[in-house]
Structure 1
């Protein structure tokens, strides 16, 4: 777990799960939008940033189990999970494991830019060319061009992306999953090519708690331009 601004006295924590190809540093700017009652944590997946020497994990379930173990080792305090795109699926599976373990302080799941039903036909990332992978990422707006210009960085990035695409392309939520107890907040950009408002509303089916959804201007990475509003929304005590 990465902590941009450690705050052990905070009464509440926000734990963020990155998108495919992303690392914990993506969420570092969010710390400036949180007040003193919140601490920001970001999950650092193996194989990237300060964990670049560790082997990549090939399935959502394995990543979720590792994240759940790390979170259970933290002091218990009210916790919000936020995941964007691939991170939304991992956050959801992590929360299912935490609740199955009896944890009750994980009170809210915030999912962004990700569907939970109506999946497209599976595509094997191993069969995609490097150019196809890079095009898919740059069209969504989540890849820094500087990374693609450096051969060594490009190769490392492609290895991560290929793993993450295979991970998420093969993930399907269990059809017999028990509803989670935590409330769910679903977020979307109004011009997201991967998920529409009807698909994002299907997240209501995973919870026995409160469900709300919100739409922001922008594409798949709308949250870059609306970070403060997103943080304010996911930490809000009540919704109108």
Structure 2
């Protein structure tokens, strides 16, 4: 890596308000990276502890969408193309080591589109793409829940088991979560995948939960249609947010996806 790149990475690590990611436990000497894309209304802190679960030589980089936590002053983005373009450019300095991209629920669709964007920009590509708890592009679920009342949106979040908070007791939290939910649901519900897009060049794993009412195995299998390389489905016990109880098993699986090839080159 060139010295100017080292300086750039150090500077963006120190300014978390302007970067599109959080690194809760920096590992400058790590040989690999894991990029995580959160679910709708999710923030980087949901995955704060994942750095404790991965191998010592894996640095965990969690995407922080604008408008939340340390980026609360940044405008929300409800358009998929705009979001992934911003992410691809913002992450490029970190694509200098073997990396895996993992996305959960809405984050799975963002991870897919981000991988396509990285391919189209001819950046260094991921070793593996891991998509969790969302259907493939050919059967993408569109909708208009983002137009629903505040009460309906919060009920949906509770139904998916995405939070244990009683928003009736903590209305200030509801005031924080609702704009994020409405924005992110608009992003994913109005998202229209390009069914003629390029195939994903790297291997793809789709993770699904056995009790997830939002995703069937048949819908998970449709991801194979976008793959040019190997395709695997991995199932876990639990509901839509199985990644909470299964975090250790999920990260262990991911850590086995990196290649042993020591000749992996730095990004251009």
Is this a same-fold pair by TM over 0.5?
Answer: yes
CA 199–126 in structure 1, closer or farther in 2 if over 3 Å, else same? closer
Equivalent of 1:208 in 218, 228, 232 = 228
Pairing 1:41-52 to 2, within 5 Å after superposition: 41-52=61-72
1:153-195 per-position Cα deviation (integer Å, ceiling 9, x unaligned): 2112111101111111111210110101111010010010111
2:22–2:44 CA contact under 8 A, matched in 1: yes
Gap change, CA 1:139 and 1:232, over 3 Å in 2 = same
Q: For 1:50, what is the secondary structure of its paired residue?
A: helix
- Give the 3-state SS of the residue equivalent to 1:186 in structure 2: strand
Q: Is it true that 1:175 corresponds to 2:175 in the alignment? A: no
Deviations 1:64-119 (A, max 9, x none): 11111111122511110000000001111111010111123412110000001323
CA contact (8 A) 1:186 1:213 kept: yes
1:118 correspondence with 2:139:
yes
Q: CA deviation at 1:149?
A: 2.9
Q: Greater CA deviation, 39-48 or 60-69? A: 60-69
- Other-structure match for 1:194: 214
Alignment check: 8 A CA contact 1:91 1:109 kept = yes
Gaps of 5+ in 2: 1-20, 259-268
Instruction: Give runs of aligned pairs for residues 62-101 of structure 1, distance below 5 A.
Output: 62-74=82-94, 76-101=96-121
For 2:40 and 2:168, how far apart are their aligned partners in 1?
16
Equivalent positions of 1:119-134 (< 5 A) are 119-120=140-141, 122-134=142-154
* Deviant stretches of 4+, over 4 Å: none
1:145 and 2:168 aligned? no
What is the deviation of 1:236?
1.0
- Any unmatched runs of 5+ in structure 1? none
Counterpart position of 1:8: 28
Shift of 1:16: 0.1
Q: Measure the CA separation in 1 of the matches of 2:257 and 2:181.
A: 36
CA change 1:237–1:21 in 2 (3 A) is closer
1:184 aligns with 2:207: no
Q: Is the 8 A contact 1:76 1:105 kept in 2?
A: no
RMSD: 1.6
- Secondary structure, counterpart of 1:149 in structure 2: coil
Name the structure 2 match of 1:106. 126
Take 1:108 and 1:147, find their aligned partners in 2: how far apart are those partners? Answer: 38
User: Once the two structures are superposed, what CA deviation does each residue of 1:4-55 show, in whole Å capped at 9, x if it has no partner?
Assistant: 1101111110000000010011111111111221100000000111111111
| Alignment size in residue pairs | 238
Structure 1 counterpart SS, 2:252: helix
CA change 1:64–1:149 in 2 (3 A) is: farther
Give the CA deviation at 1:147: 5.3
> How much does 1:126 deviate?
4.4
